Structures are given as C-alpha cells and as structure tokens.
Amino acid sequence: MTWILSIDQGTSGTKAMVVGADDAIRSVVEIPIRPQYRQGGIVEQDPAELLDSVMVAATRAIAEAGVTIDAVTLTNQGETVLAWDPATGEPLTSMLVWQDSRASEICEPLREHAGLIAARTGLVLDPYFSAPKLAWLRRHATTAGVVSTSDAWLLHHLTGEYVTDASTASRSLVTNLDTVTYDEELLALFGLHGEAMPRIVANDEIVGETSRFGPAVPVAGVVVDQQAALLAERCLTAGEAKCTFGTGAFLLANLGEHATRSTSGLTVSVAWRVDGRTSYCSDGQVYTAASAIRWLGDVGLLAGPEELDVLTTDDAHGAWCVPAMAGLAAPWWRPDAQALFTGISLATTRADLVTAVLQGLAAQVAELGDLVGRDSGQPLARLRVDGGLTRSARFMQAVADIAQLEIDVYPSAHATPLGAVALARKALDPARDLADTIVAWAPERTFTPAWSADRAGTFREHWHRLADTTGVEGDTK
C-alpha cells in the first residue's frame, strides 16, 4: 500500500490528508488561517502562521493515519507571494494574498503593453496575478532575498529546492504560455529582470525529498489549487468544466493541448504538464464567495453558513447585490470595484439581503459559464462543483437557476488535495495513465434549473447592468 500525504495550503487554512492506493482517506486535519483584510485593497497573511499550519496539519494527519507515508504532495494558492531569505528560509515580508490589489500601481503604467502580455501569457494585466505583486514587494518592502509565490517558499522548507510547478508559473504574467518558460522581456517590463526565479517543474515530477515528517520521502505532483480540483473532478476532455467554491469561486474549463487565447475576458493558463505534454484551461474568477458569506456573518446578517438554507428563498423581493467585496474579475477586470446593494426598502428583510448576496454570487458564476461557451463555440450544459459552499442546497439551486446549467456536486470536500494525490501517483509511477490515478467518484447530487430561461435571462440582464455600474467608494460611473 502506498500512502500519500497531500497538503492543501489555501487562503483560509491548511488541510492535510493521508490517502492510500485503494483511494481510502485515512485522515484529514484542517488548521484555519484568517487573512488580514484592511482598507486600501490590503489582504495579507502571516508567513509564520501559514508555515506552522502546514507543519502542524501534516504532522497530525500522519499521526492520525497511523501509517508511514511514501510521498508528499502540495497544492498552493497560486498568486500569493512573499520575499524571503534563500539561505535561511526566513520570511522578509508579510504575504500578499492573491486578493490584494495594491499592485494596481504596477499595472497601470504597463497598460500600453497589455496586448503583448495577453498574447504571450494568456492572462489579463491585473494585480491579481503574481508578477505585479512581486514587483510591488521590491518597490515598497525589500530588495533583499528572493521574491516568489508561496509554493516555492514552502517547497524550499520541505526539500531545500527552489522550484515552482508549471501551472503556478503560468499564473504569473511573466511565463510564456506556449513554451512554459520565463519571458525575459516580460520580466524586464515588471522590473524583475535579474531576479532569481524558481525553476519550473512538471506536475508529474519528483521535485526533491523531505525528512520533515520522518524518514526521507519524495515530494511530487505539486500543482496550483484550482487545477488540482479540475483534475480531481475528471475534467480531462476539452469543454469539461468545474467551479470550486472556496474563499473565492473559480470556474475552469479544459482546453486540451491547445492554448487558445480567450476573446471574452477569461484567462488561459496551464492545467497540468504531464508525460512531457502540456494541457491548458480557461479560467474565470469570482473574488469573493465563502469570504462574502463570512462577511455576512461579520456584520450580523447571518449566524453562520449553516443558516443559508434555513433563511434564504429564491426571491429577494426586489433587493439586488453585486458582491464585489474584493473587486470584479472577468469580464470586468475591475480591482477597484466595490460591492453594491440596491432595491432596498423598509420592507426588505435580513433574508432578502442574504438571498440577494447568494444570487449575486450565482450571477457571477453564470457570467463565467457564458464566457467559456462563447470562447469554445459550444455552450456549457453541465458544471461540476466542489468546495464548502456546495453544502448549501439553496445556493447550488440558485447557480443552476441563474446559469441554466445542470450542476453535479462532487461528493467530497477534498477535491483539491485529491487532485494532487493523482499527480503524485503519476510521478511515482510514470508508466501509469493519468486517468487511472484519479480517485473514483460519482455526483453526490445533481441540481436542475427550476427557473424558466426567460426568468433567468431577465434576472441576468438586470444584474449585469448593475455590475457594469459598480464604482469606487459607492460612486457610479
């Protein structure tokens, strides 16, 4: 029996689990982390707290499993960055989380190069991605050490290596999407020329060994979180799509081995690099999903996520919400956008406000589904979903109603770490077919649209007009 320790390091916490060759999950340990949200687009994490969560979660998971692990794999947040000392591994700055928008000042002077950047990287010039954040750290925080995404730092602590995987590197704005190598001209544009960048490794590669959890074992199959979930949900054929509802919501669609650029505002990145071949995916983001639900609790509108299905209905009675608490991504790409409530009267209830937020989140997912269909020329009919918010039947029904899609709910809360397990298995046994490494699953539940197409279309049209008018500090265009 081969036992794999899979570490899923996310925005709101770290999850560690031990999985056997028979697909049995022997243990799961989760350690929460709460990012610091402050005015001015600041979203930071404490590197010491994050690293401690990784080590504690992993150690406890192994102890609870009661087995000797044979390999370790890691997923990461994708665009969260920090500066650190490569000699000691000590952090030199706080972590800038992917939601942090301060790097807008880096992007604005580069607008004339946006077309070049999109053509080479498949991405939109936006502070969401890692290179602007790396440049911001160099401009405002420190010139010492190295600057990298969180995975390179964590992998250095585990193995001593300085590496990042192909899927994470493709989220940087300085990686050529077709060659999956750093682009020197783009590095220079962001002021990163001459920086020591981590080596880009394949997703089925053994990147080193770690003895942090006992006898030395290989570290393999590392991957960015959303692509890990895409693999776990068996989206292996072009056109198959999933949406993960975590801190944000992320809709990815498999593009096959052709890095066809989006014409509708989506991003395109590496899904995984396996057997020497690169598969690609299109990607749309909703910056606040579970974080919007957490905000509802923080301001006293919701006792907790478990109240969603008790409190809400399918009618907000005239209340509307564009839940852009951390800006809007595709197709608007407005990091400066802020949330909007409208249609509120003295008759508006707490249930109406919460329902409006849920419907606003569902509307953003529906927009992304339309963009995927527009790019591919084939409208989406089904969407596989995972993440904590899939536990809310009311929310999943809202997604099905507003997006007019069949929604298949992944039966486990662990899609991301299970995707990494599949890649680790492939790294340990290169002759094995990738499809055979994926943990088997069937939908836990399927949601079918209850709204008519006319009702969904009318809702979408009005909601989109509201999203187009969201401005800064409550102003409208």
Q: Give the three-state DSSP class for 468.
A: helix
pLDDT (mean) for 54-66: 98
pLDDT (mean) for 36-60: 96
Mean pLDDT over each residue of the chain, to the nearest integer = 95
pLDDT at 471 over 70: no
170, 203, 226: which is the final residue of a domain? 226
Do residues 51 and 113 both lie within one domain? Answer: yes
Question: Which residues are within 8 A (CB) of 7 and not within 5 positions of it... i.e. 6 or more apart?
Answer: 14, 15, 16, 54, 57, 58, 72, 73, 74, 75, 417
Do residues 11 and 42 both lie within one domain? Answer: yes
pLDDT at 312 over 50: yes
Band (pLDDT 50/70/90 cuts) for residue 476 is very low
226, 246, 276: which is the final residue of a domain? 226
Beta-carbon neighbour count of residue 146 at 10 Å? 19
Structural domain containing residue 174: 4-226
How far is Cα 371 from Cα 99, in angstroms, rounded to an integer?
Answer: 22
pLDDT at 352 over 70: yes
Query: Has residue 262 been placed in a domain?
Result: yes
Do residues 243 and 275 both lie within one domain? Answer: yes
Band (pLDDT 50/70/90 cuts) for residue 336 is confident
Do residues 209 and 240 both lie within one domain? Answer: no
Do residues 193 and 244 both lie within one domain? Answer: no
382-386 and 340-342: which strand pairing? Answer: unpaired
Do residues 201 and 255 both lie within one domain? Answer: no
Query: Has residue 437 been placed in a domain?
Result: no
Do residues 44 and 116 both lie within one domain? Answer: yes
Do residues 216 and 342 both lie within one domain? Answer: no
Do residues 248 and 177 both lie within one domain? Answer: no
Predicted TM-score (pTM) of the model is 0.91
Q: Give the three-state DSSP class for 401.
A: helix
% residues pLDDT > 70 (the chain): 99
Q: What is the pLDDT of residues 79-113, one digit of tens each?
A: 999 999 999 999 999 999 999 999 999 999 999 99
Query: Has residue 381 been placed in a domain?
Result: yes
CATH number for the domain spanning 401: value is 3.30.420.40
Do residues 137 and 52 both lie within one domain? Answer: yes
Query: Has residue 67 been placed in a domain?
Result: yes
pLDDT of residue 304: 87
The identity of residue 51, as a single letter, is L
Query: Has residue 425 been placed in a domain?
Result: no
Do residues 304 and 203 both lie within one domain? Answer: no
pLDDT (mean) for 457-474: 83
Band (pLDDT 50/70/90 cuts) for residue 477 is very low
pLDDT at 249 over 90: yes
What six digits make up the tokens of 375?
């790019």
Query: Has residue 435 been placed in a domain?
Result: no
% residues pLDDT > 90 (the chain): 92
Query: Has residue 423 been placed in a domain?
Result: no
Please state, in angstroms and as integers, the Cα–Cα distance from residue 467 to each residue in 40, 332, 345, following that order.
21, 9, 20
Residues pairing with 278 in the sheet: 273
The identity of residue 235, as a single letter, is C
Q: What is the pLDDT of residues 165-213, one digit of tens each?
A: 999 999 999 999 999 999 999 999 999 999 999 999 999 999 999 999 9
Q: How many domains does the chain have?
A: 2
Query: Has residue 81 been placed in a domain?
Result: yes
95-96 and 146-149: which strand pairing? Answer: unpaired
How far is Cα 190 from Cα 192, in angstroms, rounded to an integer?
Answer: 5
Q: What is the pLDDT of residues 419-441, one digit of tens each?
A: 999 999 999 999 999 999 999 99
185, 209, 226: which is the final residue of a domain? 226
Do residues 130 and 258 both lie within one domain? Answer: no
